Structure 1
């Protein structure tokens, strides 16, 4: 019972994989707002990168889960998001310099290169490089050498998580872990979680209603132990997102997940 809270990945989920368009999802987002639900963006993107979308969708008072679950930003902090403390990011970059592995992180790329590899315009690519906690990038070595790289990172306390596009390095924190922190602030709640990649799996499995968005550009997600309460879309991106949310809103009783007084 309590408020309905929807946790959503961005790239390939709420946002089209190629164009970053979210317009097909707008009717479903409007219906969520009518119901008094919170929509929590949960992405590997930076806080500065996510803030324009958060404001465009008028998502206050929801927080944002940023940098693949390394942290979350409360609504009152969104307007003033800045690069801030970068110790975690600098430490990751130092370890990468020590290992000298064939991994190309955003810190190794120019703004133009980040733009090329992500499809983002220059201004957005600049925000994508403003990292505080994590380093996404591309493994450029032999596939069978990747486990050794991940083991070497783990010896320094760094985890490597596979997303829809990139391998993201961090000192811990997951979307599911931050989801629990959000619920401390905004619970009790009925939860929906939507995603398309392995780094979304824990968040999807943790929610009351999990949604796997069709992904034609990555490995997708295998069956869950709780597959009986997982909805898998036949359509990708924001079109599949909207269809799934509409179907769940028809299914979930209106007195379940209603706005608290």
Structure 2
């Protein structure tokens, strides 16, 4: 049986605070040894994911970027696109909103690299890469819930939707991690048989991907409230890790891919 692994990064494969993946190295090594593709799926930009994907040793695999708003193809060095981009159109929509709706939202495009670094815990160089956006805008809402509802309703009139992640509210023109996972998976079909897709994530913006996968693994993250019961969890198709972050990623993934039911 052909397997592919699709994984969120922050709080899942990467430690929520340190962004390290050391604890997941044994499972990463098994994926490499067995030729199992690792598809990174994150709110991060292509500019952020490309060097990380190289460091992990999976530069040949496509990656899902900016919460599913785009795909970074295998081998792509993530050079910046010229001309008009969905991100520039999105920023224009934001800036055309009435001030009362616009002012409580602050996104990466509103902050300096130093501010992005402070709010994310990144280094300044990483923060600059996080601002090299093509498709979506993560940010924080400082107003009340009623204001947020009005803000999202105004954006929806322009085709802009919002998803909550572990840290930020991310705006885009649609498509999510599950959509991109469905787009990528057929590339790994064996004849008429599609691959078995294992997805791992920890945050609300991962739910669609976890529920759409053949096997979903919710990674514990004590930095935020646990995800609610998911569709397929009662039937055993979605599991929950015992440990948090990359330690939970490592233990859970090894348990699944070494299981006799999965033929690997």
TM range (shorter): over 0.9
User: Is contact 2:5-2:37 (8 Å) kept?
Assistant: yes
Range with bigger deviation, 145-154 or 38-47: 145-154
- Post-superposition, which runs of at least 4 consecutive aligned residues in structure 1 deviate over 4 A? none
TM-score in terms of structure 1 length: 0.93
Distance 2:246 2:125 in 1: 23
* Equivalent residue, structure 1, for 2:172: 170
**Once the 2 structures are TM-superposed, how far is the Cα of residue 253 of structure 1 from its aligned partner?**
4.2
Compared CA separation, residues 152 and 252, structure 1 to 2 (3 A): farther
Tell me the C-alpha RMSD between the 2 structures: 1.4
TM-score in terms of structure 2 length: 0.92
SS at match of 1:185: helix
**Which consecutive unaligned segments of at least 5 residues does structure 2 have?**
none
Range with bigger deviation, 17-26 or 210-219: 210-219
Compared CA separation, residues 157 and 35, structure 1 to 2 (3 A): same
* Equivalent residue, structure 2, for 1:48: 47
Distance 1:131 1:153 in 2: 19
Question: RCO higher in 1 or 2 (8 Å CA, sep ≥ 6)?
Answer: 1
Distance 1:107 1:194 in 2: 29
* Equivalent residue, structure 1, for 2:16: 17
Distance 1:149 1:60 in 2: 38
**Once the 2 structures are TM-superposed, how far is the Cα of residue 254 of structure 1 from its aligned partner?**
5.8
**Which consecutive unaligned segments of at least 5 residues does structure 1 have?**
257-261
**Once the 2 structures are TM-superposed, how far is the Cα of residue 137 of structure 1 from its aligned partner?**
0.4
**Once the 2 structures are TM-superposed, how far is the Cα of residue 202 of structure 1 from its aligned partner?**
0.8
Residues 1-261 of structure 1: matches in 2 within 5 Å? 1=1, 3-77=2-76, 79=77, 81-85=78-82, 86-99=84-97, 100=99, 101=102, 102-187=104-189, 188-227=194-233, 228-253=236-261, 255=263
Distance 1:106 1:237 in 2: 25
